[in-house]
């Protein structure tokens, strides 16, 4: 039972300090300071949780994390019980506790008239402390089912599905076309947000539980989709949404205009100490990042660390409000102006900036980006306002406009999988495609999303696969396919 007066005694919401900007720009390491879990800081913050009658944070979290229970266990210093409660709903709190946008905090009841409980920070401290104290051990199945499952894609959706299915005794192989496991966690998200040791230690646990990993194998090229289906009793497609949204404007072919991922992936490989043939280097360049989401902000942080002469982040829309507007009341997740740790580090941000043209010289080299002020038409469309064009000097432009959906080539042919009008693999509410034994989880099914949704989908798809293979399942299924949060 939580302390019902805790939030009155500790009114201040406090988070650990991040490393000073000047220091963190010198490396790609985690921007957060390492914390001392023995200080009273965390139990005090956890004590602000009121254990309210209806904990809206449960619904805010796509995983249905039982937040008040682990908050109270942290308050009492019961770390082993806390990680058990957290792992009951979340396979990988070390990922969500670091990079989840924390919709749970938008739904926290305390947030009605005080700053919400620091749920995300408490989550990461529970798992870090659990690893330190040796509480994270392999959960080897009691007996094997004799059934085999191929999981294609090793991002958070594929890993969550694989871990759940291995633990109930199926023989699971995860196929990944990259040379290392992790999906976007590995070479998409930079180390300064998520250091890769967190992936390694989780893979070690999964290996000990029996999950097999096959990195460097592309399904559709090295093994055909139909062969894979024939060789395994079930297949989970968790290939992500990797097709980037383009900006097909005049000058798009100029040297110096790239998709964000063509910039971030080599940069992340370099920071992992790997060889990269021709990385795109922002050093000394005027860099413009088009797009204001996580990918855009990761480009900003990377370009600043590489020593860019200037970094400008453009957004086509208006600057969002700092405070929750009346139209997005508690407990929904409001669309607010966000300052990521990368934005804290430098660069300029411009809003209402519509790109009109990539401008170049006779050698085909980018020299500037022509933008105009965005005008909102009555039907909601956003267009450049004629006569407001201006050129922003640029040596490197990174297009970070999100992703249109998964690569469907091969899978759609070999397995006869229809594609939705959102360009994702079609599936029913139980994650099953029209091809028996083939399931879809994560961004491949719901479109570009978040890690927390990928884990929730991977867990739920695993329950569906287990039921398909055994006729019944005890695995929890947090959400039906394509569920939307309270906020959506």
Ligand X SMILES: Cc1cc2nc3c(=O)[nH]c(=O)nc-3n(C[C@H](O)[C@H](O)[C@H](O)COP(=O)(O)OP(=O)(O)OC[C@H]3O[C@@H](n4cnc5c(N)ncnc54)[C@H](O)[C@@H]3O)c2cc1C
CA distances from 198 to 94, 176, 189, 473 (A): 7, 18, 13, 30
Q: Which residue among 47, 73, 82, 102 contacts ligand SF4 (CB under 6 A)?
A: 102
DSSP-derived secondary structure for 66-93: -HHHHHHHHHTT-HHHHHHHHHTT-S-H
Residue number with CB closer to ligand X (218 or 281): 218
Q: Which residue among 71, 166, 211, 239 contacts ligand X (CB under 6 A)?
A: 239
Q: Which residue among 100, 315, 415, 469 contacts ligand SF4 (CB under 6 A)?
A: 100
The Cα 231–Cα 247 span in angstroms is 41
165 in contact with ligand SF4 (CB under 6 A): no
Q: Which of residues 140-159 bind ligand X (CB under 6 A)?
A: 152-158
The Cα 96–Cα 66 span in angstroms is 14
- Token look-up 């790997």 returns 274
61 in contact with ligand SF4 (CB under 6 A): yes
CB-facing half-sphere around the CA of 226: CA atoms within 13 A: 6
Exposed, middle or buried, 378 (CB in 10 Å: 0-12/13-18/19+)?
exposed
202 in contact with ligand SF4 (CB under 6 A): no
Q: Which residue among 69, 94, 123, 395 contacts ligand SF4 (CB under 6 A)?
A: 123
Helical spans, DSSP H, in 192-246: 197-209, 225-231
Rounded least distance, CB 134 to ligand SF4, Å: 23
106 in contact with ligand X (CB under 6 A): no
Q: Binding string to ligand X for residues 444 to 483, with x set by CB under 6 A, is what?
A: x----xxxx-x-----------------------------
Is the bond preceding residue 331 a cis peptide, omega within 30 degrees?
A: yes
118 in contact with ligand X (CB under 6 A): no
Residue number with CB closer to ligand X (254 or 397): 397
List the one residue out of 108, 109, 112 whose CA is nearest residue 121: 108
Strand order of the sheet with strand 171-176?
A: 212-215, 171-176, 148-152, 234-237, 438-440
Positions of E strands within 307-424? 310-314, 348-350, 353-360, 366-376, 382-384, 390-393, 396-399, 403-405
280 in contact with ligand X (CB under 6 A): no
The Cα 481–Cα 488 span in angstroms is 15
368 in contact with ligand X (CB under 6 A): no
Residue number with CB closer to ligand X (175 or 439): 175
219 in contact with ligand SF4 (CB under 6 A): no
The Cα 383–Cα 80 span in angstroms is 55
The Cα 139–Cα 233 span in angstroms is 23
Stretch that binds ligand X, among 108-116, 122-130, 185-193, 304-312 (CB under 6 A): 185-193
Q: Which residue among 57, 61, 82, 99 contacts ligand X (CB under 6 A)?
A: 99
Instruction: Let me know: does 226 contact 391? Beta carbons within 8 Å.
Output: no
159 in contact with ligand SF4 (CB under 6 A): no
104 in contact with ligand SF4 (CB under 6 A): yes
Rounded least distance, CB 204 to ligand X, Å: 19
481 in contact with ligand SF4 (CB under 6 A): no
The Cα 238–Cα 153 span in angstroms is 5
Stretch that binds ligand X, among 108-116, 216-224, 363-371, 479-487 (CB under 6 A): 216-224
Rounded least distance, CB 10 to ligand SF4, Å: 20
Q: Under the rule (CB under 6 A), what is the footprint of ligand SF4?
A: 61, 63, 65, 67, 90, 96, 100, 102-104, 119-120, 123, 452
Q: Under the rule (CB under 6 A), what is the footprint of ligand X?
A: 99-100, 152-158, 175-178, 183-184, 188-189, 193, 218-220, 238-240, 264, 294-295, 298, 442-444, 449-452, 454
């Amino acid at each position: 039972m939580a302390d019902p007066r805790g939030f009155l005694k500790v009114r201040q919401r406090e988070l650990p300090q991040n490393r000073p900007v000047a220091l963190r720009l010198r490396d790609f390491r985690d921007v957060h300071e390492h914390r001392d879990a023995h200080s009273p800081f965390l139990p005090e913050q956890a004590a602000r949780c009121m254990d309210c009658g209806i904990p809206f944070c449960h619904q805010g979290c796509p995983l249905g994390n039982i937040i008040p229970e682990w908050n109270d266990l942290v308050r009492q210093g019961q770390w082993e019980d806390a990680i058990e409660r957290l792992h009951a709903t979340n396979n990988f709190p070390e990922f969500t506790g670091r990079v989840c946008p924390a919709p749970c905090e938008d739904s926290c009841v305390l947030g009605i008239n005080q700053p919400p409980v620091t749920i995300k920070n408490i989550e990461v401290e529970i798992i870090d402390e659990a690893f330190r104290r040796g509480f994270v051990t392999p959960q080897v199945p009691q007996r094997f089912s004799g059934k085999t499952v191929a999981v294609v894609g090793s991002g958070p959706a594929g890993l969550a599905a694989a871990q759940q299915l291995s633990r109930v005794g199926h023989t699971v192989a995860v196929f990944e076309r990259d040379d290392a496991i992790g999906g976007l966690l590995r070479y998409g998200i930079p180390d300064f947000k998520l250091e890769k040791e967190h992936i390694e230690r989780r893979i070690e646990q999964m290996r000990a539980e029996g999950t097999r990993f096959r990195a460097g194998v592309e399904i559709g090229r090295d093994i055909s989709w139909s062969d894979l289906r024939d060789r395994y009793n079930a297949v989970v497609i968790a290939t992500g949404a990797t097709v980037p949204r383009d900006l097909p404007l005049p000058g798009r072919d100029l040297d110096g205009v790239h998709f964000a991922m063509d910039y971030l992936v080599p940069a992340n490989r370099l920071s992992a100490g790997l060889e990269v043939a021709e990385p795109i280097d922002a050093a000394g360049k005027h860099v413009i990042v088009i797009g204001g989401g996580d990918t855009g902000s990761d480009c900003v942080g990377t370009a600043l660390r590489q020593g860019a002469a200037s970094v400008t982040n453009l957004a086509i829309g208006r600057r969002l409000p700092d405070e929750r507007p009346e139209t997005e009341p508690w407990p929904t997740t409001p669309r607010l102006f966000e300052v990521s740790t990368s934005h804290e580090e430098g660069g300029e941000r411009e809003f209402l900036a519509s790109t009109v043209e990539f401008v170049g010289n006779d050698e085909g080299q980018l020299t500037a980006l022509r933008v105009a002020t965005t005008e909102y038409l009555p039907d909601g469309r956003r267009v450049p306002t004629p006569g407001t064009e201006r050129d922003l000097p640029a040596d490197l432009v990174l297009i970070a406009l999100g992703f249109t959906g998964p690569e469907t080539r091969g899978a759609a042919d070999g397995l006869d999988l229809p594609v939705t009008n959102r360009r994702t693999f079609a599936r029913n509410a139980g994650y099953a495609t029209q091809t028996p034994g083939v399931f879809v989880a994560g961004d491949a099914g719901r479109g570009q999303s978040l890690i927390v949704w990928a884990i929730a989908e991977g867990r739920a798809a695993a329950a569906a696969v287990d039921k398909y293979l055994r006729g019944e399942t005890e695995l929890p299924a947090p959400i039906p396919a394509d569920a939307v949060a309270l906020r959506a």
